[in-house]
Amino acid sequence: MRHLCGKAVVVTGAGSGLGAAYAAAAAAAGAFVVINDIDRSAATATGRRVPNSVIDTSDISTWQGAKDLIDRCVGVFGRIDGLVNNAGVVKVGPPEQASEEDLRQVIGVNLLGTAFCGTLALQRMIPLNHGSIVNVTSGAQAGMPTVAGYSASKGGITSLTYSWAAAVAGTGVRVNAVSPNARTPLAQAVAENHPEVQTGTFSPESNTPAVVFLLSHLAHDVNGSVVTTGGDEMSVLTRPRRGRTQRREGWTPEAVRRLFE
């Protein structure tokens, strides 16, 4: 079914892995696609396999790069209907060994890149009361000891999703997220250090139906959801909520201790 027929969709980090799969799935559903990747050769390789596409090598970790990307979509296709914020990097190691450069790169690409592209896309979408943003988060947001910066960036993306969704409610624009499980180089880097984590298990392609759904009119009433994807299983995450609660007058450190018992 061509659920995205005629829509213009931007996919960041689309040179390989999940991004390439998302771009191919969007095109197969009828979309015109902007394939963004800072690696020109990777973007070009994806472009050869994806019809009705153009490539873009803007660095989305900068405001100007993100602006150039969104402007390119509008300049080429006359509109932007969808954005998949997929671009991401990971640095593996104990948190105390992380360098300033490592942390700036991970937060810059993953979180700021998502924030920049999404903000600039919303500026185009809200006045037209139309558009869908799909952010890509990760189960790592719950915390993994050797990818702390990556985990923090993905937790930030989830919070951005909830915040943007609340802001655009009722405008005709929707913001959701997916948390994929796929065999990619990034997932392999995580899995090698966390064999107990079930990640990098499924094909990138098995993670694409939810993204196509969220970009399409089928999801016209879905806003502020995070969907886990991969293989034959899918779920909608429950938002963080308050846990154990007590009330008392005159809290003391000892009383706080009893809250944890």
pLDDT of residue 197: 56
Evaluate whether residue 249 is within a structural domain. yes
208 vs 12: CA distance, rounded Å? 14
1 part of a folded domain? no
- 150 counts as catalytic: yes
Please pick, among 22, 32, 77, 150, the residue that the annotation labels catalytic: 150
Q: Report yes or no on 81 lying in a domain.
A: yes
CATH number for the domain that contains residue 222: 3.40.50.720
Q: Which domain holds residue 250?
A: 8-259
- 151 within 8 A of 137, measured Cβ to Cβ: no
User: In this structure, is residue 97 part of a structural domain?
Assistant: yes
pTM for the whole structure: 0.95
pLDDT digits (tens), the chain, 261 positions: 799 999 999 999 999 999 999 999 999 999 999 999 999 999 999 999 999 999 999 999 999 999 999 999 999 999 999 999 999 999 999 999 999 999 999 999 999 999 999 999 999 999 999 999 999 999 999 998 889 999 999 999 999 999 999 999 999 999 999 999 998 777 776 666 656 555 668 999 999 999 999 999 999 999 999 999 999 999 999 998 999 999 999 999 999 999 999
Which pair of structure tokens corresponds to residue 123? 């500026």
Distance CA 5, CA 7 (A): 6
Asked, for residue 42, whether it belongs to a domain, the answer is yes
What pairing do the DSSP bridges indicate for beta strands 235-236 and 226-229? antiparallel
Show the tokens assigned to 147.
Answer: 């990818």
Of 209, 213, 226, 215, the residue nearest 163 (C-alpha):
226
Is 59 among the domain residues? yes
Asked if the structure places residue 3 within a domain, the reply is no
Q: Indicate whether 2 belongs to any domain.
A: no
Specify the number of domains making up the chain. Answer: 1
